[in-house]
Amino acid sequence: MSWDDLFERAEEYETDVETIRERLAAHREDETTESDEQEADDA
Protein backbone atom coordinates (compact mmCIF):
# COMPACT_ATOMS: atom_id res chain seq x y z
CA MET A 1 0.00 0.00 0.00
CA SER A 2 1.28 3.51 -0.84
CA TRP A 3 0.90 6.69 1.21
CA ASP A 4 -1.59 7.94 -1.37
CA ASP A 5 -3.65 4.77 -0.84
CA LEU A 6 -3.58 5.38 2.91
CA PHE A 7 -4.65 9.01 2.51
CA GLU A 8 -7.49 7.97 0.22
CA ARG A 9 -8.72 5.40 2.75
CA ALA A 10 -8.44 7.99 5.54
CA GLU A 11 -10.69 10.48 3.73
CA GLU A 12 -13.84 8.81 5.05
CA TYR A 13 -12.90 9.78 8.61
CA GLU A 14 -13.47 13.43 9.34
CA THR A 15 -11.48 14.80 12.22
CA ASP A 16 -9.32 17.78 13.08
CA VAL A 17 -6.07 18.59 14.86
CA GLU A 18 -7.80 19.61 18.09
CA THR A 19 -9.59 16.27 18.36
CA ILE A 20 -6.33 14.42 17.67
CA ARG A 21 -4.54 16.42 20.37
CA GLU A 22 -7.31 15.68 22.90
CA ARG A 23 -7.25 11.95 22.19
CA LEU A 24 -3.47 11.83 22.38
CA ALA A 25 -3.41 13.75 25.66
CA ALA A 26 -6.03 11.41 27.14
CA HIS A 27 -4.12 8.36 25.95
CA ARG A 28 -0.83 9.59 27.42
CA GLU A 29 -2.54 10.49 30.70
CA ASP A 30 -3.97 6.96 30.93
CA GLU A 31 -0.52 5.51 30.29
CA THR A 32 1.03 7.68 33.01
CA THR A 33 -1.64 6.63 35.48
CA GLU A 34 -1.16 2.94 34.64
CA SER A 35 2.61 3.33 34.99
CA ASP A 36 2.26 5.06 38.37
CA GLU A 37 -0.11 2.35 39.60
CA GLN A 38 2.29 -0.35 38.44
CA GLU A 39 5.17 1.34 40.29
CA ALA A 40 3.03 1.56 43.44
CA ASP A 41 2.15 -2.13 43.14
CA ASP A 42 5.81 -3.03 42.70
CA ALA A 43 6.91 -0.96 45.71
Handedness of CA 17, 22, 25, 28 (dihedral sign): negative
Positions 16 through 35 that interact with another protein (CB under 8 A): 16-17, 19-21, 23-24, 27-28, 32, 35
Q: What are phi and psi of 8, to 5 degrees?
A: -65, -45
Q: Does 7 bind another protein (CB under 8 A)?
A: yes
25: Cβ contacts below 8 Å, ≥ 6 apart: none
Q: Is 41 in the site for another protein (CB under 8 A)?
A: no
- Give me the residues that bind another protein (CB under 8 A), please: 1-4, 6-7, 9-10, 13, 15-17, 19-21, 23-24, 27-28, 32, 35
